[in-house]
């Protein structure tokens, strides 16, 4: 049996419609920007394998560090124990994060990093409630004790947001085809539009009227990834954050996708003067090599947990919290990211994207495209054909055609985008642009 046939028998792939599914491509090797399949085809990974692989595949520097760490310590429980890679990574991250954060809380992926942020914020207000007694003895219908908290219980989030696939993360993500089956199980969230000149006053009014009930505001700074690579303006976001902060609302920047150079700065939050109280990181954190999540908080948040009352403990953790191999990969990835070369590459991709965006408007294309936009290493546009929705056939068709040409892209519905590893070569990037043009001509 081939690998594909064996896969078909035993595996259920993520985000994949099961009936009439296409056989997955067996990848046997990765090197730099390239993925190699079983029969010798190579593909340029133009979306960094779901936005994680910032330095390219199988990077020898990261691999070497991982090997050495694997021979020393591969995993250890992180409650009551610690280890060098976790401490070194926290020491390394804190000075470069886009605010004066005081503590790093580890988890193991992007969704868990946002779950942690939400729980950390809600409990911040719960810990600080006025009747700071142990849980109020109120009984729910099934007789179990339930918590009664203070006034701040609402979460504010953006329409079209995506913060992950676990229940809390789904709750603060826009209601979409991703969440349809669970709507009655998701907690209520106040969803607002992303800010612009035309709606900023309205948004401020909403926040001014709801402000004292809102515990936290979670947002993807400047680019809403899975929602369709929607980009919004830093100036108006800064204005919005100012109002949010006036109400003491905890600001959670979900930089799972935008972190580590993706938008042209180390973190997208750096485009705004108003900085988050909590930041969520994953994906590029380990250079896309290992699963790891980070939720960093400012001292204001941390102080709410420093109490004699044991009920004010943050009861959260995962088996693989701060896995030593993942922390080692993150340290190695940071070594590479901080090289001047890497930032030169990011700048170069940024310029190439801007030039390609301009060029795109000059062609006479078979397919109509709209909303061409770029930020840092990301370029996106919509194909104005068929229905504007995630489940149309455009994505599948384009993915297949591009694969036939040796490029891997994975449109979000009719939104085509590229987000390459920073090590992409001039020749490879040119091929990616050419293949995109070929799809449209």
Ligand X SMILES: Cc1ncc(COP(=O)(O)O)c(C=O)c1O
Decide whether 168 or 211 has the Cβ nearer to ligand X: 168
Decide whether 110 or 324 has the Cβ nearer to ligand X: 110
Is 287 near ligand X (CB under 6 A)? no
- Per CB under 6 A, contacts with ligand X among 231-260 are 254, 256-257
Stretch that binds ligand X, among 68-76, 94-102, 103-111, 136-144 (CB under 6 A): 103-111
* CA distances for 177 relative to 180, 304, 397, 411, angstroms: 5, 37, 20, 16
Chain centroid to CA 145 = 35
Decide whether 30 or 227 has the Cβ nearer to ligand X: 227
Is 111 near ligand X (CB under 6 A)? yes
Give the residue among 3, 53, 45 at the shortest CA–CA distance from 26. Answer: 3
Residue indicated by tokens 């954050």 = 241
The correct pick among 48, 121, 282, 399 for binding ligand X (CB under 6 A) is: 282
Decide whether 211 or 227 has the Cβ nearer to ligand X: 227
Is 110 near ligand X (CB under 6 A)? yes
Beta bridge partners of 293: 107
Is 108 near ligand X (CB under 6 A)? no
- For residues 11, 283, 39 and 404, what is the CA-based torsion angle, rounded to 10 degrees? 100
The correct pick among 66, 157, 218, 226 for binding ligand X (CB under 6 A) is: 226
Provide the minimum distance between the beta carbon of 93 and ligand X in the complex, in angstroms, as a whole number. Answer: 17
Is 203 near ligand X (CB under 6 A)? no
Is 284 near ligand X (CB under 6 A)? no
* CA distances for 350 relative to 56, 170, 256, 281, angstroms: 17, 31, 20, 22
* 8 Å CB contact between 412 and 379: no
Query: For residue 160, what are its two tokens?
Result: 């079209």
CB-based contacts of 74-81 (< 8 A; 24+ apart in sequence):
74/323, 74/324, 74/325, 75/320, 75/323, 75/324, 75/325, 76/324, 78/106, 78/317, 78/321, 78/322, 79/317
- Per CB under 6 A, contacts with ligand X among 121-180 are 162-164
Q: How far apart are CA 208 and CA 191, in angstroms?
A: 15
* CA distances for 159 relative to 98, 167, 179, 378, angstroms: 24, 17, 13, 21
Is 382 near ligand X (CB under 6 A)? no
Provide the minimum distance between the beta carbon of 161 and ligand X in the complex, in angstroms, as a whole number. Answer: 8
Instruction: Mark 326-345 as b/e (b = at least 16 C-beta within 10 Å).
Output: bbbbbbbbbbbbeeeebbeb
Q: How far apart are CA 237 and CA 100, in angstroms?
A: 20
Q: Which residue's Cβ has the minimum distance to ligand X?
A: 110
Decide whether 129 or 159 has the Cβ nearer to ligand X: 159
Give the residue among 348, 360, 371 at the shortest CA–CA distance from 425. Answer: 348
Q: How far apart are CA 331 and CA 90, in angstroms?
A: 10
Is 276 near ligand X (CB under 6 A)? no
The correct pick among 33, 48, 69, 109 for binding ligand X (CB under 6 A) is: 109
Decide whether 249 or 281 has the Cβ nearer to ligand X: 281
Provide the minimum distance between the beta carbon of 301 and ligand X in the complex, in angstroms, as a whole number. Answer: 19
Decide whether 225 or 324 has the Cβ nearer to ligand X: 225
Decide whether 83 or 283 has the Cβ nearer to ligand X: 283
Decide whether 241 or 292 has the Cβ nearer to ligand X: 292
Decide whether 230 or 312 has the Cβ nearer to ligand X: 230
Provide the minimum distance between the beta carbon of 256 and ligand X in the complex, in angstroms, as a whole number. Answer: 4
- For residues 429, 430, 431 and 432, what is the CA-based torsion angle, rounded to 10 degrees? 50
Provide the minimum distance between the beta carbon of 6 and ligand X in the complex, in angstroms, as a whole number. Answer: 25
* 8 Å CB contact between 228 and 413: yes
Is 230 near ligand X (CB under 6 A)? no
DSSP E strand stretches across 300-434: 369-375, 378-383, 407-408, 415-418
Q: How far apart are CA 73 and CA 322, in angstroms?
A: 12
Provide the minimum distance between the beta carbon of 114 and ligand X in the complex, in angstroms, as a whole number. Answer: 5
Provide the minimum distance between the beta carbon of 255 and ligand X in the complex, in angstroms, as a whole number. Answer: 7
Provide the minimum distance between the beta carbon of 389 and ligand X in the complex, in angstroms, as a whole number. Answer: 19
Decide whether 218 or 369 has the Cβ nearer to ligand X: 218
H or E element that contains 105: strand 101-107
Beta carbons within 8 Å of 63's beta carbon, 6+ residues apart: none
The correct pick among 220, 239, 382, 428 for binding ligand X (CB under 6 A) is: 220
Stretch that binds ligand X, among 86-94, 210-218, 220-228, 389-397 (CB under 6 A): 220-228
Residue ranges binding ligand X (CB under 6 A): 109-111, 114, 162-164, 220, 225-226, 254, 256-257, 282
């Amino acid at each position: 049996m081939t690998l594909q046939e064996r896969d078909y028998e035993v595996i259920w792939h993520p985000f994949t419609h099961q009936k009439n599914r296409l056989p997955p491509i067996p990848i046997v090797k990765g090197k730099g920007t390239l993925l190699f399949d079983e029969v010798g085809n190579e593909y340029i990974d133009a979306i960094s394998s779901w936005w994680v692989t910032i330095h390219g595949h199988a990077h020898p520097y990261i691999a070497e560090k991982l090997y050495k760490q694997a021979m020393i310590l591969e995993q250890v429980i992180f409650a009551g124990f610690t280890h060098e890679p976790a401490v070194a990574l926290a020491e390394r991250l804190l000075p470069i994060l886009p605010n004066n954060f005081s503590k790093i809380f580890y988890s193991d992926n992007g969704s868990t990093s946002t779950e942690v942020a939400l729980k950390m914020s809600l409990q911040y207000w719960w810990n600080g409630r006025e009747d700071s007694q142990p849980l109020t003895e109120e009984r729910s219908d099934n007789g179990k004790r339930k918590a009664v908290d203070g006034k701040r219980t609402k979460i504010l989030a953006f329409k079209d947001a995506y913060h992950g696939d676990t229940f809390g993360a789904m709750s603060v993500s826009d209601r979409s085809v991703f969440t349809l089956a669970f709507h009655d199980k998701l907690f209520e969230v106040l969803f607002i539009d992303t800010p612009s000149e035309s709606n900023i006053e309205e948004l401020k009014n909403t926040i001014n009227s709801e402000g004292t009930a809102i515990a936290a505001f979670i947002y993807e700074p400047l680019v809403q990834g899975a929602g369709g690579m929607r980009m919004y303006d830093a100036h108006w976001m800064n204005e919005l954050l100012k109002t949010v902060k006036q109400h003491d609302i905890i600001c959670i920047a979900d930089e799972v996708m935008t972190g580590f150079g993706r938008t042209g700065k180390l973190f997208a939050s750096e485009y705004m003067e108003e900085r988050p109280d909590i930041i969520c990181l994953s994906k590029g954190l380990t250079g896309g090599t290992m699963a790891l999540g980070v939720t960093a908080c400012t001292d204001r948040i941390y102080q709410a947990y420093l109490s004699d009352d044991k009920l004010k403990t943050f009861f959260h953790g995962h088996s693989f919290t701060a896995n030593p191999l993942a922390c080692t990969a993150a340290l190695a990835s940071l070594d590479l990211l901080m090289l001047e070369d890497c930032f030169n590459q990011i700048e170069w991709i940024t310029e190439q994207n801007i030039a390609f965006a301009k060029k795109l408007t000059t062609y006479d294309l078979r397919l109509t495209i709209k909303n061409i936009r770029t930020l840092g290493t990301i370029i996106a546009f919509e194909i104005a054909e068929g229905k504007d929705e995630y489940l149309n056939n455009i994505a599948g068709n384009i993915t297949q055609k591009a694969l036939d040409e040796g490029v891997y892209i994975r449109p979000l519905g009719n939104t085509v985008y590229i987000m390459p590893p920073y090590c992409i070569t001039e020749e490879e990037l040119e091929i990616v642009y050419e293949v995109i043009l070929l799809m449209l001509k």
